[in-house]
């Protein structure tokens, strides 16, 4: 689904962020669309970085930046007074502002006034289409892969992007379908499913990944986790609307509890995969698991390879850290399972 183009290049906003997972939008753009980024803007109390050059607003404008992207995420997706003040300063300096937070840019009176006065635009990436239909579960042509997770922020977007690129590199028609703010900014289109009214989530995904007759694949970015009580509703609607032929399970090695819920442990890998397969069978009776993508950033390389081997042995499908080791083993499993 096409989205209105957001003018680039981008200045990535980290602000006062201290949570590494909370800057995943900025990190995603820096890794997967670095050619569209001029640098990052962060305050002195922010210990994080995307690896791009740190710039002031004035320096970024001088280098051609056209849009400040609020590449941050926080619980509830809201802007505090400091964020609003920074976006106002950016607008007054001549930058458009883009964000995927639940709280809309246009609803900030001071920012809206500053943008109008400066002749710049505000882009709320999380706006969902207004004319969505409910899901039908009707079988549609084409192949679809969905990434699912043991938790939120477990690598689903990264894994889906890398899988799509790995499949394309091996000659497959493969399209990344974005379902979250970061993916939409990278892909240039998509639907933020967590902004869709619950009744229409599965229908939104059916629209996002329509029938295709070229023998190719839609690789659909997963959201949340069936085991996370805050976000399982979005995950379930996405599973049913995707009608996936294939599932890939994503997991961060070493994470002990669900994000934001220290009283709830991360689920067992086998239990999580089984639950996702069972849920998917409602609209995709022949769905099958084709791989596991692990985030092994906390491990050295020998330990990371051992973790991948253990996960593969446990679940009976290839396991890899796509950032470290690539996604070819999973693509080969797809080719083996779906050879026509």
> Does 3 reside within a domain?
no
**pLDDT (0 to 100) of residue 38:** 97
Contact 160, 220 (CB under 8 A): yes
Q: Verify that 191 and 276 share a domain, yes or no.
A: yes
Domain containing 48 — which CATH number? Answer: 3.40.50.720
Q: Are residues 183 and 329 in the same domain?
A: yes
Note whether residue 2 is domain-resident: no
CB 97, CB 111: distance < 8 Å? yes
Q: Are residues 66 and 201 in the same domain?
A: no
Helix (H, G, I), strand (E, B) or coil at 1: coil
Predicted pLDDT of residue 54: 97
Listed residues 90, 124, 158: the one ending a domain? 124
User: What secondary structure letter does DSSP report for 158?
Assistant: H
- Alpha-carbon span 270 to 248, nearest angstrom: 12
On whether both 65 and 151 belong to a single domain, the answer is no
Same domain membership, residue 51 and residue 81: yes
Contact residues for 227 (Cβ-Cβ < 8 A; gap 6+): 150, 151, 258, 266, 267, 272, 275
Q: Is residue 136 part of a domain?
A: no
State the Cα torsion 201-203-207-210 to the nearest 10°: 120
Question: Does 166 share its domain with 254?
Answer: yes
pLDDT value for 300: 97
Among the listed residues 219, 223, 222, the one whose alpha carbon sits nearest the alpha carbon of residue 176: 219
Please check whether residues 178 and 106 belong to one and the same domain: no
Q: Are residues 39 and 102 in the same domain?
A: yes
Q: What is the pLDDT of residue 2?
A: 44
- 76 found inside a domain: yes
Is residue 107 in some structural domain?
Answer: yes
Among all chains, which residue has been given the structure tokens 């081997």? 309
Residue 73 included in any domain: yes
For residue 159, what are its two tokens? Answer: 């894994």
Q: Token digits for 287?
A: 């769905």
- C-alpha closest to that of 267 among 279, 285, 252: 252
Mark whether 165 and 31 lie in a shared domain: no
Tell me: do 100 and 170 sit in the same domain.
Answer: no
Which pLDDT score is estimated for 189?
86
User: Of 68, 90, 124, which residue constitutes the final position of a domain?
Assistant: 124
* Phi, psi of 126, deg, nearest 5: -85, 10
Residues 24 and 54 in one domain: yes
- Give the 3-state secondary structure of residue 293: strand
> How many domains would you assign to the chain?
2
pLDDT of residue 177: 97
Write the CB contacts of 259 (distance below 8 Å, at least 6 apart in sequence).
21, 151, 152, 153, 228
Same domain, 108 and 219: no
Predicted pLDDT at 1: 46
Q: What is the C-alpha separation between 68 and 12, in angstroms, rounded?
A: 6
291 close to 330: Cβ distance less than 8 angstroms = yes
Instruction: Confirm whether 4 is domain-assigned.
Output: no
Using 50 as the pLDDT threshold, list the residues of the chain that sit under it. 1-2
Tokens in use for 26? 């900025």
> Among the three residues 124, 159, 181, which one is the final residue of a domain in this structure?
124
Mind listing the pLDDT tens digit for each residue in 15-41?
999 988 889 899 999 999 999 999 999
Q: Report the distance separating Cα 77 and Cα 12, nearest Å.
A: 17
CA 253 to chain centre: 19
Range of the structural domain that residue 315 is part of: 143-337
Which CATH number characterizes residue 197's domain? Answer: 3.40.50.300
Domain assignment present for residue 5? The answer is: no
Helix H or strand E segment including 28? helix 24-32
């Amino acid at each position: 689904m096409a989205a209105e183009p957001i003018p680039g290049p981008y200045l990535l906003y980290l602000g006062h962020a201290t949570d590494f997972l909370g800057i995943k939008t900025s990190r995603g753009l820096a890794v997967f669309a670095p050619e569209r980024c001029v640098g990052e803007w962060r305050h002195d109390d922010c210990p994080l970085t995307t690896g791009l050059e740190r710039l002031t607003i004035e320096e970024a404008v001088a280098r051609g930046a056209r849009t400040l992207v609020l590449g941050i995420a926080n619980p509830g997706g809201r802007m505090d007074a400091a964020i609003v003040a920074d976006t106002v300063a950016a607008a007054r300096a001549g930058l458009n502002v883009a964000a995927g937070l639940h709280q809309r840019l246009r609803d900030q009176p001071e920012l809206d006034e500053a943008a109008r006065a400066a002749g710049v635009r505000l882009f709320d990436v999380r706006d969902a289409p207004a004319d969505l239909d409910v899901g039908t579960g009707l079988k549609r042509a084409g192949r679809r892969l969905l990434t699912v997770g043991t938790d939120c922020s477990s690598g689903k977007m990264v894994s889906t992007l890398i899988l799509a690129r790995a499949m394309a590199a091996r000659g497959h028609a493969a399209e990344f379908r974005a379902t979250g703010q970061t993916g939409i900014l990278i892909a240039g289109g998509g639907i933020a499913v967590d902004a869709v009214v619950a009744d229409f989530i599965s229908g939104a995904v059916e629209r996002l990944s329509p029938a295709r007759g070229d023998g190719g694949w839609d690789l659909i970015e997963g959201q949340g986790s069936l085991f996370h009580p805050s976000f399982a509703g979005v995950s379930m609607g996405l599973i049913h609307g995707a009608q996936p032929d294939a599932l890939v399970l994503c997991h961060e090695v070493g994470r002990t509890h669900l994000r934001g819920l220290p009283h709830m442990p991360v689920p067992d890998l086998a239990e999580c995969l089984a639950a996702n397969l069972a849920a998917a069978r409602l609209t995709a009776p022949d769905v099958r698991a084709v791989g596991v993508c692990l985030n092994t950033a906390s491990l050295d390389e020998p330990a990371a390879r051992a973790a991948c081997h253990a996960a593969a042995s446990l679940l009976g499908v290839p396991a890899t850290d796509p950032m470290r080791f690539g996604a070819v083993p999973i693509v080969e499993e797809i080719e083996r399972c779906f050879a026509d």
